Amino acid sequence: MYLVIRFQSSIYMKSLFPSDTYLTPSGTRGKFPNRLIKNSSLFFIIRFLSLVFKTRRLAVKGKLDRQAWAISSHSVLKLIERFSGRFHIEGLDNIRQSDGPVVFVSNHMSTLETMVFPCIIASEMEVTFVVKDSLVNFPVFGAVMRARNPIVVSRSNSREDLTIVMNQGKKFLEEGTSIVIFPQKTRKVDFIPDEFNSMGVKLAGRAGVKLIPVAIKTDFWGNGKFIKELGPIYPEKTIYMTFEKPMHIQGTGKEEHKKIIEFISSKLEEWSDTIKRNNI
């Protein structure tokens, strides 16, 4: 749960996740009648869009500050849990113990991490995302994305995208805002190292800040056939996220980039083995 504390004219919010690990509490996961279970994806999307429109109204009114964004994101996390989603999040202390803005670099599997990362990170520090231009122009989500002042790239011209991220990203970091980067061009369930670029490493190195690698398994929420953000849900799939210890970038960052890929690959393999054992 979140706690808002008012002190004179400022508003402070305690961490939504005060421990190093967050596990969905037993009894939290929803129990639904057969008709709802059968159509769980449809009901989930309806409830999700309701939350999005509420957040959009705040954005349009200019009221979607960091606190409101984190609380809105937390509502999405709780919605996922009500639809039988099980979260297993580790390494939260690594976010809290950062001594300044950082670059978060994560694999990208579904819409889920985009919606849930804000309640994990924004409740601890100022943060923004590197996003595709299609997202800021999307009718439903666009206003929300624009309200949080993201770094917008095209994903069609890698050289131009790198220049944008290097210039704008360095400025954000100098001003104290952390940045989340998904180096893959698109969301994919399978992690392909060759498609995982070093943009985040280059930005952290140039800005002289630390980098936090993030490994996620979020195929609970699939990609939609017509609208990627509105895909089906798979309640039987556990949601995993691990935030690694911050790392310094040395030189070109080639070794650090290799370590990030190894970290993500090893976590995905570990979670796959856990799932296989539990299914036996």
- What per-residue confidence (pLDDT) applies to 1? 37
Domains: count for the chain = 1
Most confident range, picked from 19-28, 104-113, 271-280: 104-113
**In a domain? residue 95:** yes
**In a domain? residue 3:** no
**In a domain? residue 44:** yes
Nearest to 94 by CA among 225, 226, 239, 263: 263
- What per-residue confidence (pLDDT) applies to 8? 31
Share of the chain above pLDDT 70, in %: 90
- pTM score: 0.91
- Per residue in 216-229, pLDDT (tens digit) is 999 999 988 878 88
**In a domain? residue 244:** yes
- Per residue in 161-191, pLDDT (tens digit) is 999 999 999 999 999 999 999 999 788 889 9
**In a domain? residue 147:** yes
Least confident of 18-32, 82-96, 198-212, 257-271: 18-32
- What per-residue confidence (pLDDT) applies to 198? 95
The domain in which residue 86 lies consists of 17-279
Residue 50 identity (one-letter amino acid): S
- What per-residue confidence (pLDDT) applies to 276? 86
Average pLDDT, rounded, for the chain: 89
**In a domain? residue 8:** no
**In a domain? residue 1:** no
Query: Which residue is it, tokens 């005060």?
Result: 18
Report the C-alpha gap between 120 and 145 in whole angstroms. 17
Segment 16-43 mean pLDDT: 76
Residue 116 identity (one-letter amino acid): V
What are the DSSP E strand ranges found in 93-238? 102-106, 127-132, 151-153, 178-181, 210-217
Nearest to 95 by CA among 125, 128, 130: 125
**In a domain? residue 55:** yes
Report the C-alpha gap between 59 and 17 in whole angstroms. 25
